[in-house]
Structure 1
């Protein structure tokens, strides 16, 4: 028995932290109000250090060295004599054999290599026509119509461009777009991520879960349940979609958490404990299994779910509401309408055709096209000093691509209101450099909020129609201006901050409903 336990200690995962909830005692019975970092004994600590240096010297054929057996022996012996590790590995093996809520609760007290974490939910547990091993459906760029001969000739001519685009997308392109997937960055952020995860588990009773998407990627998630707290917000689940260098451990989860909502965070493929690479298809596959998990395992209905995204997370968020139109609402913070203009901004002009082809074929994050497929409430939060999603710089607020997302949404939903004059007054409002100037534009057109609401409600009551609406077609120019400004202010809120400033909970509002 002792030999078997020693062998488990040798082959077991690296233990990083033992979490502590306020109502729990230490697994070994010792007192303590907080979690604590796992403390390896001298032998294990020195062995880990040696192994770490050795792994960096792969070219020296470390694994062919006879010293490996000696290192493994010392490492296993150090863990075998450490009561914390022995108790952890015992609980891990028990959970793998008998996956019960009680054993899983014990296992959640430990932070260790996520590859060893038992499976909690798989896409195969749900029968849905949307799901297949090929992945969920995405909006594809519309192909240009060509004759058969012309098409073949065009394919031959553009073959070098296709090859170069593929190489760019799968090497530095993907890493530029999602720097959080770079291993060195994750290693540098590890202490911060560990601290953030400990806070979610120890202070908010967070539950970590492993999901398997239809492409086989394992998705690292964190769920905080507020339904038993008695607050109204706790009955609503906010699913958070992080930015291109964001992790649920330190990302936008904190905003709805502070607002008292139940929250489900997840890491992009290739981020944190999640496997894979964050290409659009993998991103959508991950988002899909997260939604399925929320509905079929956590017990939320789609009408109880709000999708909240920051920055590039707008892609998976807009895909979610497009694919699941019953979702309650969508909140997009510091997001954009289309990746292409932002990609062209950072690349030389001579690369323009290549950038266009690469983005459309491999990184087509066309958020606006997906949002237009959704009929529910939408709130856009624009950072007035955003330096990331502007095409000319933070000093030019009109180059913020959030403006284009708003205009496209309003033009689709209210085409008779958003005529040339409607677009002009909304652009004037968007160009305001301060809240005072913004209010001045609004009052300058003498917008009557009560009148606007009554017009829209009257239209809605007379017709049970989906967007686009024809309201405003028989209206005066002044009336259309008022409605255009009224709708712009309802669909978008300004936040006086830069792109990466955390959104305060007070700025997180449910979208406007008529």
Structure 2
């Protein structure tokens, strides 16, 4: 029995923090007491440090292997006479590291706190009961060892398969059969280069939060943020399995039992390209007393995979299914709140689930392509266009315009940024949405007026533009209500409304968190 427990300690996860002792219950009506960082004993601490350095050196050698192999070849080290001693040296190092790992397991076995944790983890794996899960959630450890709490297979959805949810695809150019074959051969090098760019530095530039080095640098901050959500807000961490096999790391704060009017509404937060739920935009709806569900992009924090559009859509889909089928919320009780690049998953969600109550987009954009073209040389234009459309097609405006429900989708768009306010892509997102919904009003003159309002540098100028055109809000709303009553049709409509029902200005920098005072629920007819 002792040997089996030592083996569990040897193969077990890193334990970082104990949020609260498992036998402690949450005090009635308030959050529980603070937790503490796990303190390994001397043997475990030193052996863990050695294995950590070995892992870092392995990662460094892996990424630098092409250059390293070229150097060794030029120096004549890659030959049969020298490979044997090198392989023997590597074997000796591996044996030593195995011995160090065994010593670390011994050190964990001698630590009563780690023994208690590993026992709870094994018991939860065998019997995934609410009582066992409640004990396990007070520990912060490697999320890969966390048992799955919800899977896409638990929902009977005939439209969903392992191939993933459906995305809007770029419209293919019409060509003849022979022309199509010749064009495929001619553009083959471009396809290969695009694939390599997207799967190497392109994806990492677009989603820097997926880079392991950045996550290691932010690890203390992420652990502190997660501890705050669990210990102060009684948050619950869950692992969701998406249809592509990726495991999605989520955090749920339930306010329904607090009795507030906002607690019955769930805000699902979609983070930016370097954002994590631990330190991201969850704080804004939490300030307002909402129930909140945060999740990390694939490849961020405890989530597995890589954040390509298909994986992103698969992730938000399983998050919504979890909110409905496991947490007990109705789609009409859900608001999607997204910051920056999170607008892609938010717009996909409301396009695919039109019953969702609302979507709030903070500092988002209409399409990735114009942003990519802006930072790349003009000579790269064809390559950038092909790479974005094939592998990183974040087409937020197109997805918003494909929402068929005339009432349930309402948008508040916050734009921020440089002194030239009209360069902000949030303006383009608003204009595309208005042009789709109200084409009879958004003619050349209508677009010019909205651009004039968007170009206002402060609220006084906005009001001046608004009053200058003598806009009668009550009359506009009555016309829309009459139109909706007489015609039960989806958008586009042949009538229109002004931009400020959809856009709200908040003057600050792109990376400043949105305060709750600026978190307005969208206007609805």
Does residue 245 (structure 1) correspond to residue 268 (structure 2)? The answer is: no
Deviations 1:80-117 (A, max 9, x none): 11111011001000100110101101000000000000
Aligned to 1:445: 469
Report Cα offsets for 1:24-78 as digits up to 9, x if no partner.
369xxxxx93110000001111111111122233367377533234312321221
Distance in 1 (CA, whole Å) between partners of 2:514 and 2:6 is 48
**What is the deviation of 1:22?**
12
1:195 aligns with 2:224: yes
Do the aligned partners of residues 377 and 323 (structure 1) sit closer, same or farther apart at CA in structure 2, a change above 3 Å counting?
Answer: closer
Instruction: Please state how far the C-alpha of 1:403 moved relative to its aligned partner.
Output: 0.7
Whole-Å separation in 2 of the counterparts to 1:63 and 1:299: 55
CA distance in 1, matches of 2:94, 2:472: 80
Quick check: 231-240 or 374-383, which moved more? Answer: 374-383
Q: CA deviation at 1:309?
A: 0.5
8 A Cα contact 2:412 2:501, kept in partner: no
User: Would you say the 8 A contact 2:412–2:521 is kept in 1?
Assistant: no
Secondary structure of the residue that 1:380 maps to in structure 2?
strand
* CA distance in structure 2 between the aligned counterparts of 1:215 and 1:22, rounded to whole angstroms: 34
DSSP 3-state at the match of 2:252 = strand
Aligned residues: 488
Q: 1:148-169: per-residue Cα shift (whole Å, max 9, x none)?
A: 1111111111111111111111
- State how far apart, in whole Å, the 1-side matches of 2:483 and 2:167 are: 33
Q: For 2:430 and 2:91, how far apart are their aligned partners in 1?
A: 56
Taking the aligned partners of 1:50 and 1:257, their CA distance within structure 2 comes to 41
Partner of residue 409, structure 1: 433
> Contact 2:33–2:231 at 8 Å: present in 1 too?
no
Which residue number in structure 2 is paired with residue 279 of structure 1?
308
Gaps of at least 5 residues in structure 1 are 27-31, 387-393, 473-482
188-197 vs 32-41, which moves further: 32-41
- Taking the TM superposition and a 5 Å limit, the aligned residue runs for 1:196-215 are 196-215=225-244
Question: Do the aligned partners of 1:236 and 1:306 also contact (CA within 8 Å) in 2?
Answer: yes
DSSP-derived class of the 1:131 partner: coil
Evaluate the alpha carbon distance shift between residue 69 and residue 458 of structure 1 in structure 2; reply closer, same or farther with a 3 A threshold: closer
Does residue 124 (structure 1) correspond to residue 153 (structure 2)? The answer is yes
Quote the Cα distance in structure 2 between the aligned partners of 1:18 and 1:341: 46
List structure 1 segments (4+ residues) > 4 angstroms apart after TM superposition.
Answer: none
* Distance across 2 between alignment mates of 1:231 and 1:164: 54
Pick closer, same or farther for the CA change 1:340–1:153 going to 2, 3 Å: same
What is the aligned counterpart of 1:155 among 174, 184, 202?
184
TM-score, length basis structure 2: 0.90
- Report 1:217-236 matches (<5 A): 217-236=246-265
Provide structure 2 residue ranges, at least 5 long, that are not aligned to the other structure.
27-31, 62-88
Confirm whether residue 56 of structure 1 aligns to residue 80 of structure 2.
no
Residue number in structure 2 paired with 1:18: 18
SS in 2 for 1:44: helix
Q: Which residue, out of 404, 412, 426, partners 1:380? A: 412
Deviations 1:429-464 (A, max 9, x none): 000011111111111112121122122122222222
Q: How does 1:106-121 map to 2 (within 5 A)?
A: 106-121=135-150
CA RMSD of aligned residues (A): 1.7
1:426-505 correspondence runs (5 A): 426-471=450-495, 483=497, 487-505=498-516
User: In the alignment, which residue of structure 2 is the partner of 1:347?
Assistant: 376
Change (3 A) 1:45 1:441: same
2:5–2:109 Cα contact (<8 Å) kept: yes
Hey, what's the Cα distance between the residues in 2 that align with 1:463 and 1:269? Answer: 42
What CA deviation, in whole Å up to 9, does each residue of 1:395-418 have, x standing for no partner?
Answer: 211111111111111111111111
Q: Distance in 1 between matches of 2:42 and 2:34?
A: 24
Stretch deviating more after TM superposition (60-69 or 195-204): 60-69
